[in-house]
Amino acid sequence: MTIAEAKKEYNALLKRYYKAVEYFDRKDIPDSEKEKFIENFREILAGLNYYLSKIEVFTNQQVLEGFYEWCGHARRSNGHSKNIDR
């Protein structure tokens, strides 16, 4: 697995993580129902850790927001891109 592939997989899993957090934070769902999905949540966390071990070098921001590098551009926090090939 390349670092680029690991970043792509990490980003996809990070989206699932945030959806799971939203689910577990909901007050209208009983804890007994949420408990059914705890193991799935642990698998997501293990997957995130696995991909980070493959990527090796990352910032706290990348861990929380994902990796946004493509086509010689890096995404800034304001949503704009800058060319990093120079």
Q: What is the pTM of this model?
A: 0.76
What three-state secondary structure class fits 58?
coil
Domain boundaries of the chain, sorted by first residue: 3-83
Helix or strand (DSSP H, E) at 86: none
pLDDT at 83 over 60: no
pLDDT at 73 over 90: no
pLDDT at 42 over 50: yes
